[in-house]
Chains A and B, each alone.
Chain A
């Protein structure tokens, strides 16, 4: 079945440093979504990428979807303490069914 791998499992950064998490699917995706989950909270939708090679930005966050629509990345520029949480990618092969990656837990030291 479809699998979505995500690395790294966790990352510690100093405030102001950049952060990137990578997502790779075993199959071609129809779309990929990114979610953020704060400690003790539930996942919150960040963005969806649909087109091959698509790049979207949200302030300090940059999202990319690979040309083959099998991988994606989330890059945060100049991290802040408010960026702390777990970032999940979630891939869909079509329809609404979505498979989540393992998540990358981000720790930011002030």
Chain B
């Protein structure tokens, strides 16, 4: 199956610093990628849709100036958590759909666990 990688797999940072998370589709091109956040024992909450070559589309309640998304190429999207605070600590997961016909299968990255001290 298709592979999506994420880097780093975990990061611990001090409050006020910025953290960049990379999401790569390794064996297919993805013009669209999605960023989710998952708090412990909760569901995946869609944060934003990353669009290659254009601005990301953010879900209601997600601060676009705090969560900067850049989809620089057909295989790479980055999420930068700016001025991170402890409440931003979460599991961040990206996904990339590889639409084939009517199949809407999404391939998820392994996730990045962010801990802000």
Interface residues of A (CB under 8 A from B): 1, 30-31, 33, 41-45, 48, 50, 88, 90, 92, 96-103, 105
Contacts and interface: CB of A to CB of B under 8 A. Distances in A.
Given A102-B42, A105-B41, A43 B108 contact: yes
- Nearest first, the 5 A-B pairs at minimum CB distance are A96-B97, A102-B43, A42-B108, A100-B44, A103-B43
Given A42-B110, A42-B111, A90-B106, 14 more contacts: A30-B104, A33-B104, A41-B110, A45-B105, A92-B104, A96-B99, A97-B34, A98-B106, A100-B36, A100-B44, A100-B45, A101-B43, A102-B43, A105-B41
Contacts of A105: 41
B interface secondary structure, majority: strand
Given A42-B93, A101-B43, A31 B104 contact: yes
Contact of A42 (B103, B105, B109): B109
Contacts, number: 54
Contacts of B104: 30-31, 33, 48, 92, 96, 98
Contacts of B60: 1
A31 B106 contact: no
B77 interface: no
B22 to A, nearest CB: 15
B46 interface: yes
25 contacts: A30-B104, A31-B104, A33-B105, A41-B110, A42-B110, A44-B108, A45-B106, A45-B107, A48-B103, A88-B44, A90-B106, A92-B104, A96-B97, A96-B99, A96-B104, A96-B106, A97-B49, A98-B46, A99-B46, A100-B43, A100-B44, A102-B42, A102-B43, A103-B42, A105-B41
